[in-house]
């Protein structure tokens, strides 16, 4: 019986539960100096002067450097869309553009001395007018980069100049609904903040420890910064305490650690504080959306248009490119005949935006799913019925949407039906009607979303190798870089299944660029369908090699060699005595000069599209505006599931983050660009107390795109849950005349909406 598809406990857990993981801050680096940054207290200012004299003389201080001392060319994301002049300097150069931007790097013998010396650095700022609101950035009254002549980084599509009248997309619609929707800026908040540490060996090679999802990208950027070949750099991502997309792109303040270590000929380490992290690590979402949806009174949607203003923060990174993915997933699970999209990404004097769990797709889903509910409310139909009238049928895959995205396979109707059944939707609606009749202060709201998303969106390859060690155990080395997802267990299952080994007999290696030959990393729910498939192919090849070898040793045909049913080796089918253990095979292979090693660069066959349906049940206190999430029901289909334990874990985590965006979390600035939620006391990070236990049901529709049948599961929970919860809150108050409330639906916002809607 195959181990795949079974609930296998994680082999990596014991360490975390007994001595804790080894994160960058735990790495022992004798003699290391500590780095701390002086950061900008202003959102927008010219730097009139910097004086580091006193800091340099402070006890224990080794160095204090400014942009001038560093003299490095700014780092720019490798994307044509991003203008050269908007590239981010390693340290602020001439101008500061957001609160928290690093200005001076101070290195000392101890962390306390480095922090103390930062206080002695004097920076003179001439304040400039800040631009905080992305909609105002569009006006170009104040420019972040005067050389660029505009705050617009990049744009997609055309504005809808025809509006909704004759000749427009909406020509002929009986009903047209429009709404401005804020998809607010949130802080990813991995529990481990950013950290890096650099040390040069006697051979002049750099070893760099960093909390990253992409060690190989990090190596590339370090080599570029130092002006050396990549083989002079070794990057190790040890245990990483969460990333959620925010640890994909290398940051200047983490890279500079290596530059300082070289300059000082001494190991240097850096771990930011949480308060620094809230400003330093990229933020997520940050879209202002304008939706228009039109159709007929029988529930058929005829046209949909989405305009987006994407906040990119002070320096454009991945955040500026999120609208591309929003556009890709524009019409969601629906067959909408006409659709349009227009986005502009703008710079503002705020922390740069980056990928955050879902990255551009949650925004697309939020827009279309809110729109479906707005449309349903307008025509007085149940939102489930409106969705059913427009879902793409299960018999229509592969399906190409009006925007040109080709979905691999799905059963959206099936997901919705299952959701309504397991949640007891009908009874919930009855309960809701009862509460409305009695005008109880606590009203019930039901909200749903039927989502589809894109995983493994980039083209390319991923690497894995499998080798049989002399002791007969296998070692898998992979280019993906797990940071909580459980790849050690999952990849070991893949190898164990192929080779007839136990999961514990497979050693798992990742995230060390000296040991793994190449790699891309872990993000965008890509790992199993890239690195996991590469691992399966490598294991398959090793098995073939071993069968040939065993056949030769046992003087039989390779076709007659099978895995020993008891495990641990190969045998001639039906002849248990004619057997070679993996250790024997490994030894023989090495002797013959052809070790049992297979290296695979797997070129994947395009993206996959997980889908599902989520229902949120909320109770809203109409007197106080307080919202309580009573139930969260999720049906998710990510193709064939390798390990349900891990898949459920991904869904749970995603659901919590999605709920958090709808109800609680928002990274806020005042109008001068001062951040208001700069630590975990002020930022309303979701806790156990605000959440229910989740009710999850699974569907498995295998994708034809890879031999595991697997799609990604890392982000689905977030993508589906945010609009479900958001819709539920509005639904609870619909009978009072409330049409829309922006996220997060805090008591204050809810209360205001109720008051404003009151006749």
Where along the sequence are the contacts to ligand FES (CB under 6 A)? 191, 242, 484
Q: According to CB under 8 A, which one of 19, 559, 591, 759 is a site residue for another protein? A: 19
Select from ligand FES, another protein, none the partner in contact with residue 385, using the beta carbon and a kind-dependent cut-off of 5 to 8 Å.
none
Which of 244, 270, 334, 611 touches another protein (CB under 8 A)?
A: 244
- Residues, the chain, total? 759
Among 18, 68, 265, 438, contact with another protein (rule: CB under 8 A): 18
Q: 10, 644 in Cβ contact below 8 A?
A: no
The 382-421 site mask, x for binding another protein (CB under 8 A), equals ----------------------------------------
Q: Is residue 656 involved in binding another protein (CB under 8 A)?
A: yes
Q: Which CB, 26 or 430, lies closer to another protein?
A: 26
Q: Considering beta carbons, is residue 20 or 737 the nearer one to another protein?
A: 20
681: contact with another protein by CB under 8 A: yes
Per the listing, tokens 């001062």 go with 674
Determine the Cα–Cα distance for residues 299 and 329; give it in Å rounded to an integer: 21
d(CA 694, CA 655) in angstroms, rounded, equals 8
Of 465 and 657, the one with the shorter C-beta distance to another protein is 657
- Kindly tell me which of 34 and 334 has the beta carbon lying closer to another protein: 34
Residue 25's binding partner among ligand FES, another protein, none (Cβ under 5 to 8 angstroms by kind) is another protein
Q: CA angle 392-395-398, nearest 5°?
A: 75
- What is the separation of C-alpha 702 from the centre of its chain, rounded to a whole number of angstroms? 23
CA distance 375 to 753: 19
Rounded to a whole number of angstroms, the minimum distance from the CB of residue 483 to ligand FES is 9
Binding to another protein by residue 680, rule CB under 8 A? yes
Q: Of 316 and 654, which has the nearer Cβ to ligand FES? A: 654
- Report the alpha-carbon distance of residue 599 to residue 518 in Å, rounded: 10
- Answer yes or no whether residue 21 interacts with another protein by CB under 8 A: yes
Which range in 168-176, 236-244, 452-460, 661-669 contacts another protein by CB under 8 A?
236-244
Q: Among residues 685, 700, 736, 751, which is the contact residue for another protein, using CB under 8 A?
A: 685
Q: Which of 53, 57, 135, 273 contacts another protein by CB under 8 A?
A: 273
- Helical H runs in 562-643? 582-591
C-alpha closest to that of 684 among 729, 730, 727, 744: 744
Query: CB of residue 213 vs another protein: minimum separation in angstroms?
Result: 11
414 CB-contact burial (10 Å; exposed 0-12 / middle 13-18 / buried 19+)? middle
Question: What tokens appear for 75 in the block?
Answer: 């780092």
3-state secondary structure 296-341: CCCCCEEEEEEEEEEECCCCCCHHHHHHHHHHHCCCCCECCCEEEE
Measure Cα distances from 418 to 369, 397, 423, 639 in Å. Answer: 18, 20, 8, 16
Q: Which residues pair with 126 in a beta bridge?
A: 46
Q: List Cβ neighbours of 112 (8 Å cut-off, separation of 6 or more).
A: none
Stretch that binds another protein, among 129-137, 448-456, 505-513, 682-690 (CB under 8 A): 682-690
Give whichever of 16 and 515 is closer to ligand FES, judged by the CB atom: 16
By the rule CB under 8 A, 31 interacts with another protein = no
Partner that binds at residue 394, options another protein, ligand FES, none, CB closer than 5 to 8 Å by kind = none
Q: Specify the stretch interacting with another protein by CB under 8 A; choose among 92-100, 289-297, 481-489, 490-498.
A: 481-489
Residues in region 144-203 near another protein by CB under 8 A: 189-193
Q: Is the distance from CB of 375 to CB of 386 less than 8 angstroms? A: yes
694 near another protein (CB under 8 A): yes
- Within the chain, how many helices (H) and strands (E) appear? 20, 28
**Residue 641 per-residue DSSP state:** -
Instruction: State which of positions 105-124 bind another protein (CB under 8 A).
Output: 112
CB under 8 A: which stretch of 19-27, 256-264, 303-311, 540-548 binds another protein? 19-27
- Give the nearer residue to ligand FES in terms of CB position, either 355 or 474: 355
Q: Annotate 580-600 with b (16+ C-beta within 10 A) or e (fewer).
A: bebbbbbbbbeeeeebbbbeb
Interface contacts to another protein, rule CB under 8 A: 9-10, 12-23, 25-26, 112, 189-193, 239-242, 244, 273-275, 483-486, 645-646, 648-649, 652-657, 679-681, 685, 687-689, 691, 693-694, 717
């Amino acid at each position: 019986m195959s181990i795949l598809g079974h609930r296998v406990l994680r082999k990596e857990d014991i360490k975390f539960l007994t001595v804790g993981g080894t994160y960058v801050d735990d790495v022992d680096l004798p003699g290391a100096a500590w780095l701390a940054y002086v950061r900008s207290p202003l959102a927008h200012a010219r730097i009139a002067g910097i004086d580091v004299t006193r800091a340099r003389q402070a006890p224990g201080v080794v160095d204090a450097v400014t942009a001038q001392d560093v003299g490095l060319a700014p780092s720019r994301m490798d994307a044509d869309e991003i203008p050269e002049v908007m590239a981010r300097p390693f340290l602020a150069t001439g101008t500061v553009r957001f609160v928290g931007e690093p200005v001076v790097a101070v290195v000392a013998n101890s962390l306390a001395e480095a922090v103390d010396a930062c206080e002695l650095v004097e920076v003179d700022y001439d304040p400039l007018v800040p631009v905080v609101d992305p909609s105002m950035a569009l006006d170009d009254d104040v420019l972040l980069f005067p050389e660029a002549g505009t705050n617009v980084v990049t744009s997609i599509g055309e504005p809808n100049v025809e509006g909704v009248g004759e000749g427009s997309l909406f020509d002929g619609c009986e009903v047209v609904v429009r709404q401005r929707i804020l998809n607010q800026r949130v802080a990813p908040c991995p529990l481990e903040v950013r950290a890096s540490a650099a040390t040069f060996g006697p051979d002049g090679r750099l070893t760099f420890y960093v909390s990253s999802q992409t060690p190989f990208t990090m190596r590339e950027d370090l080599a570029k910064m130092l002006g050396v070949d990549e083989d002079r750099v070794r990057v190790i991502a040890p245990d990483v305490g969460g990333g959620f997309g925010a640890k994909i792109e290398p940051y200047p303040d983490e890279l500079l650690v290596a530059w300082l270590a070289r300059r000082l000929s001494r190991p240097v380490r850096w771990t930011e504080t949480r308060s620094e992290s809230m400003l330093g690590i990229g933020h997520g979402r940050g879209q202002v959306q304008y939706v228009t949806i039109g159709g007929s009174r029988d529930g058929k949607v005829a046209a949909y248009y989405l305009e987006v203003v994407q906040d990119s923060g002070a320096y454009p990174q991945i955040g500026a490119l999120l609208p591309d993915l929003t556009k890709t997933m524009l019409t969601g699970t629906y067959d909408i005949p006409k659709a349009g999209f227009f986005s502009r990404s703008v710079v503002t004097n705020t922390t740069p935006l980056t990928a955050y769990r879902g990255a551009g797709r949650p925004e697309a889903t939020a827009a279309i799913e809110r729109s479906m509910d707005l449309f349903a409310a307008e025509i007085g139909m149940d939102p489930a019925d409106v969705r059913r009238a427009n879902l793409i049928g299960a018999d229509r895959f592969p399906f190409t949407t009006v925007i040109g995205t080709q979905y691999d396979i799905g059963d959206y109707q099936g997901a919705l039906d299952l959701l309504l059944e397991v949640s007891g939707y009908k009874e919930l609606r009855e309960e809701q009607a009862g509460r409305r009749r009695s005008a109880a202060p606590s009203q019930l709201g039901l909200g749903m979303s039927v989502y589809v998303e894109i995983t493994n969106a980039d083209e390319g390859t991923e690497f894995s190798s499998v080798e049989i060690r002399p002791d007969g155990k296998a070692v898998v080395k992979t280019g993906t870089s797990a940071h909580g997802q459980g790849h050690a267990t999952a990849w070991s299952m893949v190898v164990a299944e192929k080779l007839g080994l136990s999961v514990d007999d497979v050693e798992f290696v990742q995230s060390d660029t000296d040991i793994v030959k190449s790699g891309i990393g872990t993000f965008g729910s890509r790992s199993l369908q890239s690195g996991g498939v590469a691992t399966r192919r490598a294991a398959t090849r090793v098995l073939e090699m071993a069968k040939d070898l065993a056949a030769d040793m046992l003087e039989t045909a390779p076709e007659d060699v099978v895995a020993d049913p008891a495990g641990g080796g190969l045998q001639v089918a039906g002849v248990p005595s004619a057997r070679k253990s993996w250790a024997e095979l490994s030894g023989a292979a090495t002797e013959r000069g052809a070790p049992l090693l297979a290296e695979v660069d797997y070129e994947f066959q395009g993206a996959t599209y997980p889908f599902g349906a989520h229902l949120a049940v909320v109770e809203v206190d109409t007197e106080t505006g307080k919202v309580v999430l009573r139930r969260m029901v999720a049906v998710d289909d990510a193709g064939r599931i390798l390990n349900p334990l891990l898949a459920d874990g991904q869904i749970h985590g995603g659901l919590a983050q999605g709920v958090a965006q709808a109800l609680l979390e928002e990274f806020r600035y005042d109008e001068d660009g001062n951040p208001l939620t700069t630590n975990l006391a002020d930022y309303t990070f979701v806790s156990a107390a605000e959440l229910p236990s989740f009710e999850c049901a699974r569907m498995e529709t295998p994708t034809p795109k890879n031999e595991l049948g697997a799609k990604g599961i890392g982000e689905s929970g977030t993508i589906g849950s945010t609009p479900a919860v958001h819709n539920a809150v509005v639904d609870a108050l619909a009978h009072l005349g409330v049409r829309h409330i922006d996220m997060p639906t805090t008591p204050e916002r809810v209360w205001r909406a109720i008051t404003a809607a009151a006749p």
